[in-house]
Amino acid sequence: MDALELLHQRRSMGKLAGPVPSAEQLEALYRAALRAPDHKEMTPYRFIEISGAGLERLGELFAQSDRRANPHIDEGSLAAARKKPLRAPMIIAVIASITPDQPKVPPVEQIISAGCAGHAMLYAAFAQGLGAMWRTGTYAHDKGVWRDLGLGQHEELIGYLYLGQPGGRYPSAPARDPADFVERWR
């Protein structure tokens, strides 16, 4: 696929099926991530690759998160939370690993860099015929989940990339006109 075609056509895919991406496909994903723009070459990111029983473990963390938020939550809702990660054969948690007190590279720049790494993985997935979707929601923002995933004091979970084989049709791309977003100074 031509590079510009990829940039213009990439779409997310929420419906995902097995099998898990191959080792070669994953290597290509991570190599794309590691090319994210990165002020002072801080590589401020890391990834947790979750599949198989790992997805059930993650579902348990989601259920625990819901229980902390609502101690009276019913069993049906907990079961639904446990199932959430099973929507894909693989999830890659994208973590921003921030070096604090870096005067030239404030935390926001490091988080942007980690976000670019995640975005690059979406492109690398699409280019290889894989489906991918970036998801967040309460389980991405709950610091209890961060702790249970083993995040350090200066780390932030910025998203879960759901990955697999595309299980449906891609929706047509929204029609957007660059002119609506660009101001030109000449």
Ligand X SMILES: Cc1cc2nc3c(=O)[nH]c(=O)nc-3n(C[C@H](O)[C@H](O)[C@H](O)COP(=O)(O)O)c2cc1C
Residues that bind ligand X (CB under 6 A): 11-12, 133-137, 159
Which among 14, 57, 9 has a CA at the least distance from the CA of 172? 9
Which residue, 176 or 184, has its beta carbon nearer to ligand X? 176
Residue (105 or 140) nearer to ligand X, CB: 140
* CB of residue 11 to ligand X, shortest distance in Å: 4
Element (H, E) at 95: strand 90-97
CB of 103 vs ligand X, minimal distance in Å: 27
Cβ closest to ligand X, residue 168 vs residue 186: 168
H-type helices in 10-106, by residue range?
23-33, 53-69, 75-83
To the nearest whole angstrom, how small is the minimum distance from the Cβ of residue 185 to ligand X? Answer: 28
In whole angstroms, the minimum distance from the beta carbon of 148 to ligand X comes to 19
Torsion angles phi and psi, residue 28, rounded to 5:
-65, -35
Q: Which residue is nearest to ligand X (CB)?
A: 12
Q: Which is nearer to ligand X, 17 or 40 (CB)?
A: 17
The distance from CA 15 to its chain's CA centroid, rounded to whole angstroms, is 15
- Residue 89 or 159 having the CB closest to ligand X: 159
Pair 126, 132: CB distance under 8 Å? yes
| Contact criterion met (CB below 8 Å) for 125 and 163 | yes
Tell me the two tokens of residue 57.
């473990």
Q: How far is the CB of 84 from ligand X (least distance, A)?
A: 10
How far apart CA 117 and CA 56 sit, in angstroms, is 26
